[in-house]
Homo-oligomer: A and B are copies of this chain.
Amino acid sequence: MRQSVALHHASRLVNHGPTVLVTTEHAGRRNVMAAAWSMPVEFTPPRIAVVVDKKTFTSELLQASGRFALCLPVPALADLTYRVGSESGRDIDDGGDKFARHGIVVFAGPELGLPLVEGCCAWLELRHLPEPHSEQAYDTVFGEVVSAQADARVFAQGRWSFRDDNVQLHTLHHLGGGAFAVPSRVVQATLRAD
Contact = CB atoms under 8 A, between A and B. Distances in A.
Say what secondary structure dominates the interface of chain A: mixed
Contacts of A142: 138
A108 to B, nearest CB: 28
Interface string A23-65: 0000000000000111111100001010100000000000000
Interface stretch (A10-18, A88-96, A110-118, A145-153): A10-18
A78 B40 contact: no
Given A39-B39, A134-B131, A185 B187 contact: no
Interface in A77-101: 78-79, 81-83, 86
A183 B186 contact: no
Interface in A149-194: 158-160, 162, 167, 170, 172-194
A51 B40 CA distance: 8
A189 to B, nearest CB: 4
Contacts of A192: 177-178
Interface of A: 12, 15-18, 36-42, 47, 49, 51, 75, 78-79, 81-83, 86, 131, 133-134, 137-140, 142, 158-160, 162, 167, 170, 172-194
- Count of this chain's copies in the oligomeric assembly: 2
B190 A79 contact: yes
A193 B36 CA distance: 16
B51 A36 contact: no
A111 B184 CA distance: 36
A61 to B, nearest CB: 21
A6 to B, nearest CB: 13
Given A173-B183, A181-B16, A187-B78, A42 B138 contact: yes
Contacts of A47: 138
19 contacts: A15-B36, A15-B176, A16-B174, A16-B175, A37-B40, A37-B41, A41-B140, A49-B49, A86-B193, A131-B134, A134-B134, A134-B140, A173-B173, A177-B192, A180-B189, A181-B183, A181-B186, A182-B184, A182-B186
